Amino acid sequence: MFLVGKETFCDFQSIQQAVDYCENHKQSEAVTIQVLSGLYEEQVVISRSQLTLKGIGDVTIQYGLSAREKDPLGNELGTFRTPTLYVGGQNNKIENVTIINSSGYGEDVGQALAVYADCDETVFRHCRMIGYQDTLFTGRLPGKQKDGTDFILLEQSQDQKEYRQYYESCFISGTIDFIFGGATAYFYQCEINSRRERTRKGGYITAASTPKDQKSGFIFRECFLSAEEDVEGVFLGRPWRAYAKTAFIHCEYGQHILPAGWNDWSNSQNQETTDYVEILKGKYQFNQRVLWSRQSHTANSEYNIELVFPKSDFYKK
């Protein structure tokens, strides 16, 4: 176990220093990095497996890269080089940490990741992820961008065989597509918070890019959909790619969610391929939902976590 903090008895003064040491010296064994209370203004990149990053008190990691910023060669960074926290590898845990991308409103700076979860069998517990546009990206990436070009990635970006992730008791906040990607990601009792932009109205919570042959995409179970004051006109999701899968199971909805619920990203063909599902609590009646989504008051066992992750119990660890 290593300790990060500003005190003289700490092993490292920054989180990335501790991670770098573990990347170079502790690859073959499980390792824990504990972090004392404080604001850590740094980009943290974790590439290895079997690492636990655990905040002891009030721990905030904050950084401010955005897609429109230029790199030393004069090229725009693009979305996937902006994360405040990047997590690759397998069997990692991130606990009790606030991660903020502080670059500003999406309408001003473009996409800006707080967390890039490029990982498999990884758990986020009691974390706060705060940004505006594209707060949390859950790998995997689609093969190409929509214009057919390659994505611009961090050097550490990985290509996992599977992307299975579990988020428990987390606070995730943003405006546009602020939970997006192709992972099988299970959100349990999380607060999903829609923010205000400076002038831009409305928003989208999810933008899944689930691969066609993948059984599950995003599953939100017993989550709480909240919003900042005066936020309205928010969709539950839209498909970043055609076979997006997203389910809300027994969640609580704020008044900011639009009656239609879902958006087809200006492509009616997506209505034939997406799988958008809500299992409703008894008090909710959504008669104005788009006809190409599904609602029911009867729980479906296929969304039980044991069936979503049939080959692994990593979420119990």
Catalytic residue positions? Answer: 177
Phi, psi of 79 (to 5 degrees): -60, -45
Question: Long-range contacts: 140-144, Cβ < 8 Å, 24+?
Answer: 140/181, 140/182, 140/183, 140/209, 140/211, 141/80, 141/181, 141/182, 141/209, 142/182, 142/209, 142/240, 142/241
Token output for 317:
């660890």
Per-residue CA distances from 207 to 24, 66, 126 (Å): 35, 19, 23
Residue partners of 202: CB distance under 8 A and separation at least 6: 232, 233, 234, 235, 258
Cβ–Cβ under 8 Å, residues 223 and 187: yes
Phi, psi of 251 (to 5 degrees): -95, 165
**Distance between CA atoms of 52 and 92, rounded to whole angstroms?**
6
CA distances from 12 to 19, 23, 154, 247 (A): 10, 14, 24, 41
The neighbour count for residue 221, using CB atoms within 10 Å, is: 19
CA-closest candidate to residue 53, choices 90, 82, 84, 15: 15
Distance linking the first and last C-alpha atoms of the chain: 17
